[in-house]
Chain A
Amino acid sequence: GAGVSQSPSNKVTEKGKDVELRCDPISGHTALYWYRQSLGQGLEFLIYFQGNSAPDKSGLPSDRFSAERTGGSVSTLTIQRTQQEDSAVYLCASSSWTSDEQFFGPGTRLTVL
Chain B
Amino acid sequence: RKEVEQDPGPFNVPEGATVAFNCTYSNSASQSFFWYRQDCRKEPKLLMSVYSSGNEDGRFTAQLNRASQYISLLIRDSKLSDSATYLCVVRPTSGTYKYIFGTGTRLKVLA
Q: Is A bound to B?
A: no
